Amino acid sequence: MSGKEQEYIKEVFKSNYIAPLGKHVNKFENSIKDYTGAKNALALSSGTSGLHLALRVLGITQGDVVLASSFTFMASVSPILYEKATPIFIDCDESWNLSPELLEKAIKIAPKKPKALILTHLYGQASKMKEICQICNENDIALIEDAAEALGGFYDNKALGTFGRLGIYSFNGNKIITTSGGGMLVGDEKLVEKARFYSTQAREPFLHYEHNEYGYNYRLSNILGAVGVAQMEVLEQRVLAKRAVFEIYERELSDVIEFMPELENSRGNRWLTTGVFKDKGTHLRVIDALAKQNIESRPLWKPMHLQPVFNGALSVIDGTSENLFERGICLASGSCLDKNTQQKIIQIVKDNI
């Protein structure tokens, strides 16, 4: 926490306006708009709910084709199943993010014209936005950016999450800033306002409860909005702290770990320091050695095209994400990580290569 959360929460309790919504939710939305340059923002209960609403307001329905990054977390793509749409998974390239070349191939093999692409900015690092936006525009495909891990990241001085028709951020407990749970949808005004309507049970503007459509209980409470306001005040500090952690790892371990690259003209937030070892299996040995010292680390994401829940789904792959999964590790990367602990981690890694 930043230190200001209790002060703002006290204001919420003093107002006796706890939920739903309230002044601090509005402040939180405005702070996201101010930081990212997004013209419209909607505070929600999670990033996943933002992705679900994005598909809903874009008119994605049963049988529609939605393209998606394969090298990502399940929450990036599960909303495709909520709407009974058909996913096609696309592998990454040397950037670790979605390959524009494979994106073009996926469009060609799709059983019908894809309606949308859910693009993940993996581990807070920018995707190749120039190429991907051009492909989506040429093929009339709605771009949805999953920037859940990437708040504080930029490409060509433009905030990640603001390139597509819609984008989302997450404030889950493990993100660069957190409201304990929460998310934000940004983007096109009409789409965001339609999502706002659906996020509060699609209630029509009558004195009584009138519903022409179904909606969801996806809005953020005023208490969590207050936490978000305080967290946004320290976002830039968190980004710099995360990048400083990465720089120490890179300096000390670049001879044994190939770290996730950063595209030219971009600044990632280095949400997690991630990299791959030369040999398969080394990452599991290191993870086990760290765990014995009560230090958490994890493998990289298991690609979606390998997940049993998506058995039989179409995918355009070249083995890149599978290779990364078989050799990769996420190292402890907290913005409060002290240098002594980090040096201990570095030594354990070196001792277990």
Residues 145 and 265 in one domain: no
Residues 203 and 54 in one domain: yes
Instruction: Look at residues 232, 251, 267 and tell me which one is the last residue of a structural domain.
Output: 232
Residues 35 and 91 in one domain: yes
- 65 three-state secondary structure: strand
Interior/surface letters 160-178, b for 16+ CB within 10 angstroms, e for the rest = bbbbbbbbbbbbbeebbbb
Whole-number Cα distances in Å, 223 to 7, 45, 113, 197, 251: 11, 12, 43, 21, 41
Residues 264 and 186 in one domain: no
Residues 139 and 283 in one domain: no
Residues 204 and 315 in one domain: no
d(CA 116, CA 107): 11
Cβ neighbour number for residue 1 with a 10 Å cutoff:
11
Residues 83 and 228 in one domain: yes
Give the CATH number of the domain where residue 298 resides. 3.90.1150.10
309-338 average pLDDT score? 96
**Per-residue pLDDT tens over the stretch 145-176:** 999 999 999 999 999 999 999 999 999 999 99
Give the CATH number of the domain where residue 213 resides. 3.40.640.10
Provide the domain count of the chain.
2
Angle at 63 between CA 57 and CA 67, to 5 degrees: 70
Residues 75 and 148 in one domain: yes
Specify the pLDDT at position 20: 76
d(CA 227, CA 246): 26
Q: What is the 3-state secondary structure (H, E, C) of 247-291?
A: HHHHHHHCCCEEECCCCCCEECCCCCEEEEECCCCHHHHHHHHHH
272-281 average pLDDT score? 96
**Per-residue pLDDT tens over the stretch 190-214:** 999 999 999 999 999 999 999 999 9
d(CA 291, CA 287): 6
Instruction: Look at residues 209, 232, 255 and tell me which one is the last residue of a structural domain.
Output: 232
Percentage of the chain beyond pLDDT 70 is 100
Residues 215 and 260 in one domain: no
268-285 average pLDDT score? 96
Residues 61 and 176 in one domain: yes
User: In terms of pTM, does the model score above 0.85?
Assistant: yes
43-65 average pLDDT score? 98
Instruction: Look at residues 186, 207, 232 and tell me which one is the last residue of a structural domain.
Output: 232
Specify the pLDDT at position 2: 85
Specify the pLDDT at position 340: 96
221-247 average pLDDT score? 96
Indicate the pLDDT class of residue 37, thresholds 50, 70 and 90. very high
Half-sphere exposure of 272 (CA within 13 A, CB side): 20
Specify the pLDDT at position 61: 97
The residue range of the domain holding 239 is 235-351
How does the average pLDDT of the chain come out, rounded?
Answer: 96
Tokens describing residue 21 = 């919504």
Q: Are 144 and 165 in contact (CB under 8 A)?
A: yes
Residues 129 and 11 in one domain: yes
**Per-residue pLDDT tens over the stretch 255-270:** 999 999 999 999 999 9
Specify the pLDDT at position 3: 86
Residues 195 and 228 in one domain: yes
